[in-house]
Copies of this chain bind each other. A is one copy, B any other.
Amino acid sequence: MRSTRPGRARSESARLAIMHAAVRLLPELGFSGLTIERIASEAGVGKQTIYRWWPSKSAILAECVLEGLTPGFSPVVANSGDLEADLTEWLAVLQTALDEPGFRSLMRGMVVAAVEDDALRSALYENLALPSEPLLVERLEEARTSGQLRGSASPRVLAESLVGAVLYRLLATAADQSVRVDDLVELVAQPRR
């Protein structure tokens, strides 16, 4: 999804320079520290060039993800037959990615982009959630059938609670960012006897 406005040609090299600059600055500055000024300076363009094409820094970063310039990570849960092991691995992979400052800041930016722009929300949901979320729900449904799921809450609600707990850690708290993988797995999976 490009935010190009009709009737305005964008210089492709300037566009790519801006997008690469935003991604390059993100790990060092964090999402809150990133500014259009710094991106412009890093890309060697004027601020007005950026504002002509994007309304905000989150929109630039969303375009980077949607065009695959920087990976919007959507880890897929495995199916080894052992729910506890599969969820533990899935959450650990997610947590390792979120421990990386650049990726963490990128995901914070995606949340902002999704809240600020309804069209971006749909595009980002398709890009970041749809490749993996239905597989997580399916995995939990299979675990229900094989008696590995706790209680009787719907697999969809269980999936949203797991993703939500990670999201809450990403957004609300400044320190102690890690999710508690064992506890989250325990919430969902029936303990092995």
Contact status A116-B112, CB under 8 Å: yes
Contact status B187-A153, CB under 8 Å: yes
* Residues of chain B contacted by A191 (CB below 8 angstroms): 151
A166 on the B face (CB < 8 A)? yes
A166→B32 CA distance, assembly (Å): 24
* Residues of chain B contacted by A129 (CB below 8 angstroms): 172
Which of A109, A115, A116, A129 has its CB near the most chain B CB atoms (within 10 A)? A115
Task: Output the least CB separation between A56 and chain B (Å).
Answer: 8
A183→B112 CA distance, assembly (Å): 28
A112→B110 CA distance, assembly (Å): 10
A171→B158 CA distance, assembly (Å): 17
Contact status A168-B174, CB under 8 Å: no
* Residues of chain B contacted by A32 (CB below 8 angstroms): 115-118
Task: Output the least CB separation between A156 and chain B (Å).
Answer: 8
A110→B50 CA distance, assembly (Å): 26
A82→B176 CA distance, assembly (Å): 32
Q: Residue-by-residue, is A128-148 near B (CB-CB < 8 Å gives 1, otherwise 0)?
A: 010000000000000000000
Q: Contacts A157-B183, A164-B164, A186-B151 given; indicate if A172 touches B117 (C-beta within 8 A).
A: no
A125 on the B face (CB < 8 A)? yes
Contact status A169-B160, CB under 8 Å: yes
User: Which 7 residue pairs across A and B have the least CB separation, nearest first?
Assistant: A164-B164, A164-B168, A157-B183, A164-B165, A161-B161, A161-B165, A153-B187
